[in-house]
């Protein structure tokens, strides 16, 4: 019996492999701290709270737009981050929060429009079914990546496609933001005030305040709206729900329903989640000097399972957050244990219903101002991808792919959809699919690379020919839907 036990637990056995699955997390007291290291315990707790602050605004705002419970979203973000930690073996530092990519498709699938006191979205179960299926498709992609690598994903989604899809998401939501901001003249002024506050903190804010301008802008707008209400310059904020809410209680969980129409609208978001995840891992790889790209398959799987769990419980799908990557860039502390700490705090917040009731009192004008900022940033992020990667729009392939995809995403709003039986695609879905298909179909367009300046042909090649590039092998960067956090340059051929 003893020899068998020795063999089972000997080096090279499954026990040994599991023991090596997670880092040893050696304590480091100062300087840069790598993903497989940790700061002292007190610092670990404080750093975790800082990451909660960084993710807080976006993780609360995204579900609120869609009529989901904020406490449930915070709770699911914590659970998703912990799952991500275990699936990646504690090798990839990242926080998973509510993804903005789901906003347009979820509101289209459920018909929900936010307003103070509107209550929860009555069609949350329909959205849940679509989110779960999106997560399942994402998991299938993760399995393929684990088996064959991730370069094929980059082949399908070069920067011209990614930029078009990201821009389409922002522009598709523009009408909703303006409608919220201009419901009344008072709301319009409050929206303007909120936008100015966010802009001020983004540009002039000291230190860490520049990392959370949305949160601080919301606080400033809320306080001014509150003062105006008591001064008689506008409507008072209604705190009836806050007074009746319990201090401690379970998050609001819902049972999902699976509807082909909702699933077809929501599933295309997988493309954006993949693009975000790749970009974030490459950004962290560049900052840490570690080869984290070998864990992209695991990261996909962690994000996919986190999205499926969130959808099952009644929250938006999750994604890796650039806000927290920005914090790492400032602190130079990349320990994955910091994110476990942050996730644990988020889970605890999920059990505070009164907190969620306070979030639901955000006035329409303030909310509209935040929407204008965030959706505008999404749209501009798409253009930023094109600019940073020097996309050549004299090339008909790029011009047609970008132009058609953006127009479809912008023009197909409201009830406009493309339907195939029970399956329907809204503007974002049509934009995404058209961009991917168009680019691949037009790959046959003849390409000529610009000659080297030292080449003897430089004086005989025309200007138009010199501008043409092998764009499919160009270096480019990915940006997420929250902040413009650049990834390291990499090639897609």
Residue 489 falls within a domain, yes or no? no
The closest alpha carbon to 321, from 488, 169, 100, 141, belongs to: 100
Residue 276 falls within a domain, yes or no? yes
**In this predicted structure, what is the pLDDT of residue 198?**
85
> Rounded to 10 degrees, what is the CA torsion of 440, 446, 451, 456?
160
CA 104 to centroid of chain Cα atoms: 13
**In this predicted structure, what is the pLDDT of residue 412?**
80
Residue 289 falls within a domain, yes or no? yes
Residue 308 falls within a domain, yes or no? yes
Pick out the chain residues at pLDDT < 70: 1-19, 53-54, 116-118, 207-208, 210-212, 279, 322-323, 326, 330, 414-415, 419-426, 445-493
- 11-20 confidence digits (pLDDT tens): 455 555 566 7
Query: In angstroms, how far apart are the furthest CA atoms of the chain?
Result: 83
**In this predicted structure, what is the pLDDT of residue 6?**
47
**In this predicted structure, what is the pLDDT of residue 66?**
87
Residue 352 falls within a domain, yes or no? yes
Total domain count, the chain = 1
- 378-410 confidence digits (pLDDT tens): 778 778 778 877 888 888 899 999 999 899 888
**In this predicted structure, what is the pLDDT of residue 455?**
43
β partners of residue 425: 418
Q: Report d(CA 156, CA 164) in Å as an integer.
A: 13
**In this predicted structure, what is the pLDDT of residue 17?**
59
Residue 255 falls within a domain, yes or no? yes
Residue 198 falls within a domain, yes or no? yes
Residue 41 falls within a domain, yes or no? yes
Tokens of 343: 């996730």
How long is the chain?
493
Q: What angle do CA 397, 401, 403 make, to 5 degrees?
A: 115
Range of the domain at 316: 32-380
**What is the DSSP annotation of 25-41?**
-EE--SS-B-TTEE--H
CA distances in angstroms from 321 to 164, 428, 481, listed in the order given: 21, 21, 9
Are 104 and 169 in contact by the 8 Å Cβ rule? The answer is: yes
**What is the DSSP annotation of 428-486?**
HHHHHHHHHHHHHHGGGS---PPPPTTSTTTTTS-HHHHH---GGG-EE----SSS--P
């Amino acid at each position: 019996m003893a020899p068998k036990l020795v063999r089972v637990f000997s080096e090279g056995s499954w026990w040994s492999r599991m023991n090596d699955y997670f880092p040893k997390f050696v304590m480091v007291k100062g300087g840069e701290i790598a993903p497989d290291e940790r700061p002292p315990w007190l610092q670990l707790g404080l750093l975790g709270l800082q990451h909660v602050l960084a993710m807080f605004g976006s993780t609360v705002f995204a579900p609120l737009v869609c009529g989901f419970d904020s406490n449930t979203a915070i709770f699911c973000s914590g659970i998703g981050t912990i799952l991500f930690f275990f699936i990646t073996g504690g090798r990839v530092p990242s926080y998973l929060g509510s993804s903005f990519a789901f906003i347009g498709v979820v509101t289209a699938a459920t018909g929900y429009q936010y307003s103070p006191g509107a209550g929860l979205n009555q069609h949350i179960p329909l959205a849940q079914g679509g989110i779960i299926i999106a997560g399942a498709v994402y998991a299938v992609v993760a399995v393929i990546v684990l088996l064959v690598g991730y370069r094929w994903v980059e082949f399908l989604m070069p920067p011209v496609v990614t930029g078009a899809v990201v821009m389409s998401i922002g522009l598709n939501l523009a009408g909703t933001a303006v409608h919220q901001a201009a419901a009344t003249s008072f709301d319009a002024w409050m929206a303007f005030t909120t936008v100015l506050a966010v802009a001020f903190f983004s540009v002039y804010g000291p230190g860490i305040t520049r990392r959370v301008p949305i949160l601080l802008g919301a606080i400033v707008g809320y306080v001014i709206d509150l003062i105006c209400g008591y001064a008689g310059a506008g409507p008072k904020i209604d705190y009836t729900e806050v007074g009746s809410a319990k201090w401690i209680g379970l998050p609001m969980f819902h049972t999902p329903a699976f509807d082909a129409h909702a699933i077809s609208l929501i599933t295309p978001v997988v493309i954006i989640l993949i693009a975000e995840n790749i970009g974030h891992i490459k950004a962290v790889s560049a900052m840490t000097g570690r080869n984290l790209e070998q864990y992209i398959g695991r990261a996909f799987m962690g994000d996919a399972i986190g999205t499926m769990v969130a959808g099952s419980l009644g929250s938006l799908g999750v994604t890796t957050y650039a806000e927290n990557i920005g914090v790492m860039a400032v602190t130079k502390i990349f320990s994955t244990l910091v994110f476990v700490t942050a996730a644990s705090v988020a889970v605890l917040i999920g059990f505070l219903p009164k907190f969620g009731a306070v979030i639901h009192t955000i006035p329409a004008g303030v909310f509209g101002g935040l929407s204008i900022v965030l959706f505008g940033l999404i749209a501009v992020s798409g253009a930023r991808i094109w600019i940073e990667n020097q996309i050549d729009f004299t090339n008909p392939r790029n011009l047609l792919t970008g132009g058609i995809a953006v127009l479809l995403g912008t023009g197909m709003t409201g009830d406009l959809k493309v339907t195939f039986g029970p399956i329907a695609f809204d503007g974002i879905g049509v934009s995404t699919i058209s961009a991917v298909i168009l680019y691949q179909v037009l790959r046959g367009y003849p390409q000529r690379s610009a000659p080297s300046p030292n080449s003897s042909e430089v004086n005989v090649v025309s200007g138009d020919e010199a501008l043409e590039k092998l764009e499919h092998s160009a270096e480019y960067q990915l940006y997420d839907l929250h902040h413009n956090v650049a990834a390291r340059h990499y090639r897609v051929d």
